[in-house]
Amino acid sequence: MAITDVRELRSFEYSESLGEKGKITLNGSVELLALHDAAPDFGVLAEDTTVWAKLGNATIPQVGDLRLVAGTLFKVKTRKLAFYKGDDADRAIKISISYEAQKEDTEQPTPEEEEQESWRRLSVSTEQKECPLDDHGANGEFNNDPKAAKNSAGDPLDGLTENRCLLRYKYTNTKVATPNFNALTSYVNTTNDAPFIGGARRTMLCLGYNADYDDKQSLWTVSVEWLYDPKGHVVTVWDAGFNEIVNGERRAILDQRGNPVSKPVPLDGAGAAVAIGQLTPPSYAANNMAQLTFYPYPEKSHSNIFSEAGI
């Protein structure tokens, strides 16, 4: 069995229809006739990519192919193959092909329509997060520099947490032609290296993105989310350990009997053990205990995500 010829049975037929929100949909169709030298095989015909002279040196259109007609770009939406009811019914197949396109809307939308069809938007929601307990002071005296929780003797109170309300920002673009997914992925699990959407450096963490393709519109809807933490997406811990730096060398911290300590000893932030006298009042008021800050997320210029990712 072989295909011997493919020709146009009915030329391009054109129609218009009014869709949702006043949009005009353009529809087109054409019928082809495929002749065979024996009983036809639908599977072979459906996959055929031969260039046929009677089709203007073109192949049989496949679903998703584009065709320019009178300045309008149509896309193949469906194909239907059926035996041809004619003289060659036993070895001819009729191929019915339907096209679709959207007509550009030249009318200016009303303010109400423009709001409904907004294609780029930013939404904000709140969520709770469990965080290490901070002390802002009875009268807010530590608001600008919250202190870690300590007992009356100045010892850190480990394990205490608080529930903080953080902001989740979601940016959505419903008309993205070709999103750059590699660029989008490169921003996930990064923080901002400069002020972004009102958030200071390292306060905006990119949580991830979602993308959905609309085959009818041939467009993507892409959403990107950030989590805003005014205290920054950093990890702060007390500086303590079993060793200290003495004259540039790392040595074990010894107790009063000269034995290595069995519990972590506070350090001063420069690798030296804090003396016992500095850890009890009134000397403790000098804040001899140090905290270390770690930065678990790399930084990127988040303001560039829109141009780099094409969103």
Structural domain spans, the chain: 3-102, 118-234+296-308, 236-294
Has residue 114 got a pLDDT over 60? no
What pLDDT is recorded for position 216?
86
What pLDDT is recorded for position 153?
58
User: Which residues have CB under 8 Å from 152's CB, separation 6+?
Assistant: none
CA distance 62 to 47: 9
What pLDDT is recorded for position 157?
65
Question: Beta-carbon neighbour count of residue 234 at 10 Å?
Answer: 14
**Residue type at position 12:** F
Compute CA distances 7 → 59, 100, 235, 281, whole Å: 11, 22, 71, 98
Has residue 118 got a pLDDT over 70? no
What pLDDT is recorded for position 284?
46
Mean pLDDT in residue range 232-252? 88
Has residue 279 got a pLDDT over 60? no
Has residue 276 got a pLDDT over 80? no
What pLDDT is recorded for position 110?
54
Mean pLDDT in residue range 111-125? 69
Which range (133-147, 156-170, 176-190, 227-241) has the least confidence?
133-147
User: Omega into 109 within 30° of 0, i.e. cis?
Assistant: no
What pLDDT is recorded for position 68?
87
Choice between 156 and 14, residue whose per-residue pLDDT is larger: 14
Which range (122-131, 157-166, 212-221, 233-242) has the least confidence?
157-166
pLDDT tens per residue across span 148-201: 666 655 666 666 777 778 999 999 999 999 999 999 999 999 999 999 998 999
Which range (8-12, 70-74, 146-150, 266-270) has the least confidence?
146-150
Q: Is 197 left (phi over 0), alpha (psi -120 to 50) or beta?
A: left
Average pLDDT of the residues of the chain: 83
